[in-house]
Structures are given as C-alpha cells and as structure tokens.
Amino acid sequence: MQPLLDIQGVRKQFGKTLALEDARLTIQRGEVHALIGQNGAGKSTLIKVLTGVHQRDGGDITFNDQPCLFSRPAQAQEAGIATIYQELNLVGLRSVTENIVMGREPRRLGGFIDWKRAHQQASDILAGLGVDIDVRRPLEEYSTAIQQLVAIARAVSRDAMLVIMDEPTSSLDESEVLQLFEAIRRLQQRGTAVLYVSHFLDELFEICDHVTIMRNGAWVADHAISDTRKAVLVADMLGKDVNDIETHGATDFGGALEPVGELLFEARDIATRRHLRCASLQVHRGEIVGLAGLLGSGRTEVARAVFGMDALSDGQMSLEGGSYRPVNASAAIHQGIALLAEDRKREGIVADLSVRENLTLSILPSLCKGVQIDHEAERKLVEHYIEALQIKVSDMDQPIRELSGGNQQKVLLARWLATEPQLLILDEPTRGVDIGARQEIQRIIQDYRAQGGAVLLISSEFDELIEGAHRVVVMHEGRSIDTLNNPGLTESTLVAALSGGQPPTSDDGRGMQKASVRPSTSRETQA
Amino acid sequence: MTTLVRRHIADHGQSTGVMIGVLLLILLGTLRYDNFASLYNLSSFLNYNAMFVLITMGMCLVIMTGGIDLSVGTVAALSSVTAAGFSAHGLEVALPVGVLTGLAAGALNAFMIVIMRIPPFIATLATLLAAKGTALVISDARTVPVDWASNFTQLGMNNVAGWLPWSMLLTVVVGIALWLLVEHRPLGRVMLAAGDNEDTANLMGLSSGWARTWAYVICGGCAGLAGVFLASGFGAGQPLEGLGWELTAIASVVVGGTLLTGGRGSIPASVAGALMLGLIFNLLNFENGLGTFNLSAYWQMVIRGAFLFIVILLQVKITRPLAGD
C-alpha cells in the first residue's frame, strides 16, 4: 500500500541559511510516527513546509496519493492535514464548541448556525476521545491538556488523515500525558496517522510506531521503534557513534574540586508545574555550575524557578543560608539573582533604545538623583562597562538593534552585571554569537566568577561546560539525575549522562575533548 | 451556590447588570419626575437616542474584532449633509444616499486597515478628519436645509402608533439583524474569533480579514443611517455635528461589557449601554427642571464621566475575582 505521506529531498532556504537540505519523511496510514532532532535540526521548518506556512524550494511531497503544494494553511487542512501547534491555535474566549466546529458549523435553513447540533457534535467528538466537559464554556476555562484535546477534536471533526502534534506534552503533567496518549490511541484506531514531534525520548517508546531522526536540516535515519534503543536515537540526533555513548571509559583524572567559596544557593527537590519534576543543586560563591540536558529536560525550568518566574509546587530553595522563596522575578532581583534569558530578541533587548538606555534599564532607580536620572553617573557607568566588556559601539547612544548579536549579548550581560548580582543565571549565553564574541563573553563570565560571583550556566555547548564549569548538573525529563565534576568531565561522559539511560557516577572522569551537542552552524530560523 | 451565581454574573452579568440598571433608572425617573413616563418623553427619548444606539451597535462590531472606529461621528455628519442634499427626491432616495455615504467611509476604513495594514486608530482618525472636511466643503460650512415638502422629515419626526419613532423602529430592525449576525451567523463568530486572536483565527483556516472588513463596512453603514436620522430629525444636514459621538459610542459599548481588546461582545448589551447613558442625560434634564439645583451641560458631562468610571470599576470588581479560580 502507498504510504499516506511521502516527503523526499525537500529543500528550504531562508535568505542565505539553508534550513532544510534533504528532508525525508514517510508515514504509513494509521501509524504514530515520531520526528526527532536537536534544536535547529529543521523539524519545525519541515512541518511548516508540509502545512503550507512556508513554500519549499525543492523536493517532492506526496500526500494521500496526490502530489501536493500547499500555499496556505487552509489548503493543507482541506487536504486532511491538521496541525496542533505548540502554542495552541485556538481562541480562548470562544466556547469549546466553536473552537471545534468553526469554519464548518452545522447550519439551519437560512444559513443560521444550528447551535444545538453544533454542541452535540462537539461533545460527541470529545466523548470519542474520552473527554467529557461542558462544551458551552469558554475554552480558556479549561487546562492546557483539555485545550490540546479540543485541538485534536477539531482535527477529528475535519476528518483529518494526518494530525501533526508539535511538542504536545511539553506543558502537561504526567496524568495529562496519559490522557493525551489515550486520545492518540483512539485516533489511531480510527485510522488517523499522527506525526509526533517531541524532545522526550521515553515517550516515543510508549506511543510511537516509527521514528525519523533529523540533523542539520537533513534526514539521518528511520527506525521502527521496536527495533531501536534510546542510545541509538541520541547518537543519531547528535551525530555521534553509538558505542561512544554506551561505553564510556573509566579513567579517573581527578576528583571533585573543592568548592571555591562558601555555599550561596541550594535547591532541594524542587518541582514546578512546568515540566520540572525534581531537581537539586548547589552553587557556591566563585563557582560556575553547569546545567546540561537535552531540550525539554527542564534546564530552563530550573532557571525560571530560581528566578521566581514559576512558583514551586514542591521542594525548597535557600540563599545565603536563609530560606529563599521569590514570589516573582522582581523579588529575585532584589535578592541578588540575575537571569540572562535565552531568547535575546524577545526577552532581553529593547531594539529601538540606545545601548546606554538598554544597559541601565534594570538599575535606573539607583541612578536617580531626586526624581531625575543622574546622566553624569549613567554615562560613567555605561563607559565603564563598554570598556570592561569591550562592547563595540560607535557611541553609547547608538540604537542597540544596529549591534551584532555578540555585542547585544554583552550589553545585556552588562545590564545584569550592573545590578551586582550574587548569582548570575545564564541561559545559552553564547547562542547565535560568533566565535570571537563567544570567547569574550566566556571571559566576562570568568572574570565575574573570579570576583566571587556565582554562576549557573545553562548550555548546549559541550566545550563551554567542559571548559567553564566546576561541576555540571545533568537534567533529564525534569529531574536532576547526576552531578559530574570537573576536571574529569568529557564529551562522552556528558553524552552518556544526557541520554539518561545509565548515568555514570559522578567520579567517572575522562580525557578532555571538545564537541558540541548542537550543530556548529546554528539555525535560528527554527526557533 | 455562590460560585454558580458568580459564574452566571461573569457570563451574563454585564448584560443583565446593564439591563437592570436601565430598568432602575426608568423606575427612578417615573417615581421622581411627573412627566418622565409621558408618551412625549418616551418618543422624544427614543427618537433622539436612535442615532446613538445605531452607532453604538456598529462600534460594537468593530470593537469585537479588536479594532476601533473613531470616524463614526463625522461620517454621520457627512451623511446628514448628503442625505439633506437629496431630500427633495424623497426618503426613498435620500436614505440610501446617506447610508451609502456611510458604507463608502466604512469601506475606506476597511481598505486602510485590512489591506494596507494601517492601525485602526490612525486609519479611522484620518477618515474622521476627511469626512469632516468633506462635509464642510460640500455644505460650505453651513447647515443644509432639507426639503420640507418631501416625505424626508417623516423618518425623524413621525411616530408609529403615536409613540414609536420611525427612526427607532428602523434601528430595532437593524439591531435584530446585527444580533442574528453576531450570535447565529458564521461571519459574526469569525469576527469574535479574529478579535480574540487574529493569527490563530487564520491558522484555523478562517478568513479574519474578511470578517474585519465587514465589521468596518457595517459600522460605516450604521453611522450613515444615523446621519440620515440626524438630518431628518433636525430638518437640516449638520456638517458640524458628530464630534464626540465616537466617544459616546465607545463608552456605551464598554458599559455594555464588550472587551476593548476584542473577542467578546454583545449587541443587546451595547444597546442597553447606549440607552443607559442616554437615560442619565435625560434624568439630569428632568432634575434641572425640578429647579432644586441647576446643572450646566458641562456639569452633566462631569457626572456622566463619573458614572462611567463607577460602571467600569464594578465591571472589574465583578469579573476579576473569577478569573483567579
């Protein structure tokens, strides 16, 4: 039988960046097919090409025995492809019914909507997915999990042959995940195929039949899930040898370094509603603690919890020996915590403001004399940081958007350093930054540490962790599963620990190597 | 039990609240002032407020889609001028001319906002000025007398059954049509979806641009019809009228519980909001008539402002705690 979907050699270019080079994907009717790959591997781009959000530059796509070229999402939906995006594409203020039937409302004579039948249809479809809720209520009153099931119900109501789910479990708790899997199995029984994109490898073994791995915008491998192991998937995703990952050496070069200063911060068994299940870590003064993990392992969630953005549902944190429970980011900042967020463009810079204004944004109150900003002091401070961090600007009043990524990042670092934090949390501080600036940023972090600052460094760059961190806490599926000490940290220990299969003990040490979990040419287009 | 009541209030509270408010004000007026419940006051109240109810309904559609239309007042003024200009040909010509004037202005707004992607605030501000300018140019900045010999003034001056003004009757018909549109036609539901989240509506395969276009065109049409009422009821096209009407309309919509950010809205509640603001004005006039104290028109404005503030405060108080559950 012909496969339901066959994608061969698809290419997609954004400007000069090649986002997809040789993407392939074959899905049989009624199967649950996983698509995995590191961030930047091209999964999202491939989905967008398939669903008509982007147009491909080459290659063939056959769906349901028809060659297809969708120029709008509506066309793909028409053809029987429904997509459930990570940010759910539903309207929260409208009723559940409307979110399911909108665009295909049952009508009465004269074109008026037949609400009675509409509500009936909506609850029938949901019942078929094992969901029993009041469909007349506004969608926003329900949990993310229910909203997701409503999105699936919408797909079912369109008689979709293929339902694409992009990271469906990333914001669900364990029981909600089970409910989702139940719905997926019911979809499968109806003969609907599911393309399941996820970073959580363990899930794939529960729900998927087949898995396709992508790396650097290209197809890497295809496995029946029953014929493969997690280590193989990780090796394929990272482009490493599977033996390297499974057999980590046992030479011990050095033990744990004595912590540089006294204990500053400690988290014990912390958990939040956001996919953080149980994490523990300690940071001492003058120490850089790395936080490693695959995407979705809960690294960023740890940062959010420490920075007061997510409330703890369990566990405790302490700072300088006292109990630490920030109610929001502002409280965290007041206690000397700073977070350099991962998404520079969205959460960091104010593009149209000058370098000076961006740099002093967080400390303006302390720069005020009476009600006015003390511009003299402000300029002095900005000058100091521009020189200390070697930020390349024509002058401090240049708009920050004109700066390169690396220099923007330095300005943001300076912004946080100016608040004189005790603990600096860095989420992928060198992502999207060129090599030269990357080294300078790493030097700035080292200087800060040398002056007694404590750093929590989240990074996907292996060499950054291996060279920079005193210790690396390994996250896996929302839990801290291991702590690796440096020196003695190598790429293969890290990789082995990341896959979460058989974590090596913390005393295992190996020779120094350099590598990166992510492709060296990062593709920002995917994010 | 309390949560059930609270939930009911959150769902329908705004509209029921406004309607109860309207009834209370009517009760107050009837008890306090002798002539309040007279047929004369009833019909003149309905006649005068037909215009405001109309533009409020149009504004409600636009705000539902997440937009705003500042041009309704001056578009109504322009339509009053064009309708008055054609009044000699009778109502059957002058009325369509006035409405078409409004529809054209609405189409212009829609073109700028949906096709050229100019923010609604700016686009309709431009139309506000353009409509005012055009009205002044074609009327030579003077009121345009209507032809009293034709049937044109019947619309704005005569009553059905002795108390229901033709203008209000027509407004009710338009209101029912718009209510059906919003509640029972897909187009109206898409307007609401687009107002909630336009990107999402598009990803759902709905044509939100089309829905928003219709909202502005209908809103323009309502303003046009209001202009016809204005010319017909006052016996002249009024090029200088209409400034500030847009604010009254927005206030009425807000009092009716429609979210200014879009995505939620109700025609009946907006109508009740418009009637409520009108009633307060009416009651203050009666209060002046009693002679106990004399409020100037300016003080009346202050009181209306204070009233609006209280309504919005209550709105926030009632709906916010529920959002926390």
Mind listing the pLDDT tens digit for each residue in A24-74?
A: 999 999 999 999 987 668 888 899 899 888 889 999 999 999 888 888 888
pLDDT at A371 over 90: no
Instruction: Pick the closest to residue A291 from A431, A443, A465 (CA basis).
Output: A465
Instruction: Pick the closest to residue A423 from A293, A521, A326, A314 (CA basis).
Output: A326
What tokens does A131 get? 């969901």
Are A102 and B204 a contacting pair at CB < 8 A?
A: yes
Question: A113 in contact with B at a CB cutoff of 8 Å?
Answer: yes
Residue with tokens 């060129």: A434
Tell which wins on pLDDT, B197 or B100.
Answer: B100
Measured at the CA of B275, the angle between CA B273 and CA B312, to 5 degrees, comes to: 25
Tell which wins on pLDDT, B134 or A400.
Answer: B134
pLDDT at B251 over 60: yes
All residues of chain A having their beta carbon less than 8 Å from the beta carbon of residue B185 are 111-113
Section A125-135 average pLDDT: 89
Q: What is the per-residue pLDDT for A270?
A: 92
| pLDDT-derived band at A368, boundaries 50, 70, 90 | confident
Section A291-316 average pLDDT: 88
Section B29-33 average pLDDT: 90
pLDDT at A519 over 90: no
Give how far A77 is from chain B: nearest CA, Å. 8
What is the CATH number assigned to the segment(s) B17-319?
1.10.3470
Please report, rounded to a whole number, the percentage of residues in chain A having pLDDT higher than 90: 25
Give how far A286 is from chain B: nearest CA, Å. 42
Q: What is the per-residue pLDDT for A513?
A: 35
| pLDDT-derived band at B62, boundaries 50, 70, 90 | very high
Q: What is the per-residue pLDDT for A363?
A: 81
Residues 147..186 of A with a Cβ closer than 8 Å to B: which? 154
Residues B290-315: pLDDT tens digits? 777 677 778 877 887 887 788 777 76
| pLDDT-derived band at A408, boundaries 50, 70, 90 | confident
Using CA atoms, how far apart are residues B99 and B284, in angstroms rounded to an integer?
32
Give how far A30 is from chain B: nearest CA, Å. 23
Q: Mutating which of B200, B264, B319 best tests the A interface, going by the most A Cβ atoms within 10 A?
A: B200
Are A91 and B201 a contacting pair at CB < 8 A?
A: yes
A9, exposed or middle or buried, with CB in 10 Å at 0-12, 13-18, 19+?
middle
Whether the CB-CB separation of A298 and A477 falls below 8 Å is answered with yes
Q: What is the per-residue pLDDT for A254?
A: 31
**What residues of chain B have any CB closer than 8 angstroms to a CB in chain A?**
180, 184-186, 189-190, 192-193, 196-197, 199-206, 259, 263-264
Q: Domain-by-domain residue ranges, chain B?
A: 17-319
B136, exposed or middle or buried, with CB in 10 Å at 0-12, 13-18, 19+?
middle
Question: A90 in contact with B at a CB cutoff of 8 Å?
Answer: yes
**Is beta strand A454-458 parallel, antiparallel or unpaired with respect to A288-292?**
parallel
Are A92 and B196 a contacting pair at CB < 8 A?
A: yes
Question: A79 in contact with B at a CB cutoff of 8 Å?
Answer: no
Whether the CB-CB separation of A261 and A422 falls below 8 Å is answered with no
Question: A103 in contact with B at a CB cutoff of 8 Å?
Answer: yes
Question: A31 in contact with B at a CB cutoff of 8 Å?
Answer: no
Question: A77 in contact with B at a CB cutoff of 8 Å?
Answer: yes
Evaluated on CA atoms A237, A240, A243, A244, the torsion sign reads negative
| pLDDT-derived band at B213, boundaries 50, 70, 90 | very high
Closest residue, chain B, to A138 (C-alpha): B11
Are B263 and A103 a contacting pair at CB < 8 A?
A: no
Closest residue, chain B, to A92 (C-alpha): B196
Question: A105 in contact with B at a CB cutoff of 8 Å?
Answer: yes
Q: Mutating which of B203, B206, B208 best tests the A interface, going by the most A Cβ atoms within 10 A?
A: B203
Using CA atoms, how far apart are residues A227 and B107, in angstroms rounded to an integer?
62
Section A157-172 average pLDDT: 84
| pLDDT-derived band at B14, boundaries 50, 70, 90 | low
Evaluated on CA atoms B94, B98, B104, B110, the torsion sign reads negative
Question: A115 in contact with B at a CB cutoff of 8 Å?
Answer: yes
Q: What is the per-residue pLDDT for A507?
A: 37
pLDDT at B113 over 90: yes
Using CA atoms, how far apart are residues B153 and B91, in angstroms rounded to an integer?
8
Q: What is the per-residue pLDDT for B316?
A: 65
Are B189 and A113 a contacting pair at CB < 8 A?
A: yes
What is the phi-psi region of residue A9: left when phi exceeds 0, alpha when psi lies from -120 to 50, beta otherwise?
left
Using CA atoms, how far apart are residues A340 and A257, in angstroms rounded to an integer?
26
Using CA atoms, how far apart are residues A377 and A363, in angstroms rounded to an integer?
12
Q: What ipTM was reported for this prediction?
A: 0.75
Instruction: Pick the closest to residue A165 from A27, A310, A6 (CA basis).
Output: A27
Distances (CA, A) of A374 to A356, A361, A479: 13, 13, 46
- Beta-bridge partner residues of A196: A34, A165
pTM assigned to the model? 0.69
Q: Which of A280-294, A329-343, B209-223 has the highest mean pLDDT?
A: B209-223
Q: Does residue A79 sit in helix, strand or coil?
A: helix
pLDDT at A417 over 80: yes
Using CA atoms, how far apart are residues A476 and A469, in angstroms rounded to an integer?
19
Are B203 and A115 a contacting pair at CB < 8 A?
A: no
Instruction: Pick the closest to residue A152 from A141, A168, A170 (CA basis).
Output: A168
What tokens does B70 get? 């500042």
pLDDT at B218 over 50: yes
pLDDT at B4 over 70: no
Angle between helices B39-64 and B245-255 (to 10 degrees): 80
All residues of chain B having their beta carbon less than 8 Å from the beta carbon of residue A101 are none
DSSP A423: E
Are A94 and B204 a contacting pair at CB < 8 A?
A: no
Whether the CB-CB separation of B220 and B70 falls below 8 Å is answered with no
Q: What is the per-residue pLDDT for A216?
A: 83
Tell which wins on pLDDT, A494 or A218.
Answer: A218
Tell which wins on pLDDT, A364 or A328.
Answer: A328
| Residue among B186, B197, B200 minimizing CB distance to A113 | B186
Whether the CB-CB separation of B39 and B188 falls below 8 Å is answered with no
Residues B262-291: pLDDT tens digits? 888 889 999 999 999 899 888 888 888 777
Residues B160-176: pLDDT tens digits? 888 899 999 999 999 99
Question: A114 in contact with B at a CB cutoff of 8 Å?
Answer: no
Q: What is the per-residue pLDDT for A273?
A: 84
pLDDT at B3 over 70: no
